[in-house]
Chains A and B, each alone.
Chain A
């Protein structure tokens, strides 16, 4: 029988054993394919050219993350496969086969597994694309239609990304077999393993891990005026490293210490599962850490999505405070503007306020520049807030203080707004507040406003031009175009100085639709990460179950109750999932905290909801894992 035939037979026979690996790989292919499918679906065309640029950046970033994830996943899966195959194919040595031939056999078998995974991934991906569409649209509640029709181009691209990466690791495995000694291969199944980790090393890892993680957490939530981007990047690196050190140091140390306390240990099945956790920890801590980081990504992605959606709604609401705004040097335009609007629409609210437009050269606001600046007198701003029923916190404003009347940001890297000084007309003012209440609606997005005391306003008046803003909200949004045309017709009849500007907010505008796409993608990423972390965990546990079979069979023979053994398995896996969830939950407070800091909002509820959703998903994975582990260990 030729080598190809033997390899094919081996592949056929071992397919059942390695089904978990094939399915996990197929799953990553499914994810990659569906993502490429969105990319080439043409769904983003509706967003317009400006938004397409934003979306392209997001897609590239996510492609990179997915690529990294796939790389590490294939690395991990092929390593598991190599370790198990080494034990089995080592027997071929007795048949007189050389390392090279055994290596080639491994190469062929693994390639066949890879091809099987690719085909099943693409087929499942094609079948699931409709499901993805329905799920995403249901969750995201977006008006943008994202089509998930199976496409050939994404399939080719997915295969082109996946297969070379996969083959790199197959070749790596082949080289490892060729270079392995005969003894090494034969003893792969019998190697004695050190169960416990060295306590001294664990303590060192624990101390370093706590410091690294603590620093990461601190940087994530620390406010900064200049280094927020650097802090965010350092926080990601440190938290990832810290999580690895925590699973490699503190957690095994805690379990080893617990196992030393026999009074604690000898309580029913505790002696069994705590020792199993310690034994597995040495092999599995990297996987646990990886799963924990992936879950953290998952929660953060979900929180980002939900926060984005919330912020998007708020920005739309902010911009729509007034549908029409007119800027003029004249203070008597109200009647004319009203008349023009009321020709086609009904005014529901309106306001008028005098502002001082200053040239950009008159203001130095530090690092962040704006093209247009305007000053508001404190008393008039307060009056405006009272008239429109908006919140206004400050009672008094001293002469050397300013309030920045800002707008809602999607995200900002300027996270520390304390101690900011602004130089206006040669005098330095300390910024005491940064409000994003929509006192002047959309104008706050296009002009940087500062409120100063009335006395200071009078002092600054000679330096700029006084302008009146007329703001109107209307009842019938669908009459936008007619109302705008009517208003424009009236304004066209005014002289240039009287008509300094007009704002009309189109309710149908899709300028911010990329945020909605971002929201959908965040939800998609959440699903990807949660499914990825769950499947890695499941695959690991599935394989562990086989390794444990001998041990559990001994206990069954000795008469230990299967129910008791099942309870022990439940406790062991519960501990594994539990510690991952705990570390992820604590870390998410900081990662979502960092997000909240950049969005200047409170995301505690979003964090709690995201963690709860992940919790339920984990429970599902846990139940599946317990069943698979019990069956593979022969306890079911």
Chain B
């Protein structure tokens, strides 16, 4: 059964922000970046956050992923209020419950792809046999089996990003935060990666929250939240047809002022 057909009430909340405000204070000047955002992410959601430059989408992602702290409001991850958590608790939250996919991959160039994917498992003390098995499974799912012995410098951008996604998924996190995951990829590699993300989401293996400025990339999500000037402007949900969903995203994007400021 398609997850879209399940009522949100029957699904578990993975992340929730309520009345989220973020203000930066630079030399006495206060800049309000997020102005009271409310957002709930349920298990098996695939959400894309879109918005023009300076709309606050990366700030929202950073706060959700516990890298930044809000000025006001609450952030709950898997039932835990992260605004009250200590640094140590935040570290373990990030390690155990969150998977990260960065625009610039952030694979460690000192080790092979296989070791990169195994790293979070190994550091978490997962038995070595299990590590090997899970790395093999994840690599097979992302078409990377024959590249496991390669170092990052021997891989293409797409392979690196799929590797980074594998690394994010291999610990079975509650949620994956992806920051412009296709930003550094060519269209073919970008599409491959999105298919992979969609695949793991559809099969119920991952809840994804992705920040992007690209409507094509966003069209792979189930819901798109449009952010403008630090507030959620609207939410667009996908129907059965991705093409039609893409057109609707572009329409909203155009109505918000074209795409020149969306880079």
Task: Using CB atoms and an 8 Å cutoff, list the residues of chain A in contact with chain B.
Answer: 192-196, 259, 262-272, 275-276, 278-279, 551, 554-555, 557-562, 564
Closest to B108 in A: A551
Q: Are B153 and A268 in contact (CB under 8 A)?
A: no
Q: Are B100 and A266 in contact (CB under 8 A)?
A: no
Partner of A266, one of B98, B106, B110, B121: B121
Dominant SS at the B interface? helix
5 A-B pairs with CB atoms under 8 Å apart are: A259-B115, A263-B128, A266-B122, A272-B111, A554-B102
* Chain B residues, Cβ within 8 Å of A194: 151, 153
Instruction: A265-B115, A279-B111, A559-B90 are known; give 19 further A-B pairs, CB within 8 A.
Output: A193-B109, A195-B151, A196-B151, A259-B115, A262-B114, A262-B118, A264-B128, A265-B122, A271-B118, A271-B122, A272-B111, A272-B119, A272-B123, A551-B110, A557-B67, A558-B100, A559-B92, A561-B91, A561-B123
* Chain A residues, Cβ within 8 Å of B90: 559
B132 on the A face (CB < 8 A): yes
* Chain B residues, Cβ within 8 Å of A270: 122
Q: Are A554 and B151 in contact (CB under 8 A)?
A: no
Once A554-B106, A557-B67 are accepted as A-B contacts, the answer to whether A268 and B123 lie under 8 Å apart by CB is yes
* Chain A residues, Cβ within 8 Å of B98: 559
* Chain B residues, Cβ within 8 Å of A558: 94-95, 100, 106, 120
Q: Are B110 and A271 in contact (CB under 8 A)?
A: no
* Chain B residues, Cβ within 8 Å of A555: 108
Most chain-A Cβ atoms within 10 A of its Cβ — which of B98, B109, B125, B129?
B109
* Chain B residues, Cβ within 8 Å of A266: 118, 121-122, 126, 128, 131-132
Most chain-B Cβ atoms within 10 A of its Cβ — which of A193, A270, A275, A564?
A275
Bound CA–CA A279/B128 (angstroms): 22
B226 on the A face (CB < 8 A): no
B93 on the A face (CB < 8 A): yes
Once A192-B153, A269-B123, A271-B123 are accepted as A-B contacts, the answer to whether A279 and B110 lie under 8 Å apart by CB is yes
Bound CA–CA A262/B148 (angstroms): 12
- The interface bits of chain B over 145-160 (1 if a CB of A lies within 8 angstroms of the residue's CB, else 0) are 0000001010000000
Q: Are A275 and B95 in contact (CB under 8 A)?
A: no
Within 8 A of A (CB), among B202-258: none
Once A266-B121, A267-B122, A561-B91 are accepted as A-B contacts, the answer to whether A275 and B131 lie under 8 Å apart by CB is no
Within 8 A of A (CB), among B61-107: 66-67, 88, 90-96, 98, 100, 102, 106
* Chain A residues, Cβ within 8 Å of B106: 554, 557-558
* Chain A residues, Cβ within 8 Å of B94: 557-559
Minimum C-beta distance from A272 to chain B (A) = 7
* Chain B residues, Cβ within 8 Å of A557: 67, 94, 100, 106
* Chain A residues, Cβ within 8 Å of B123: 268-269, 271-272, 560-561, 564
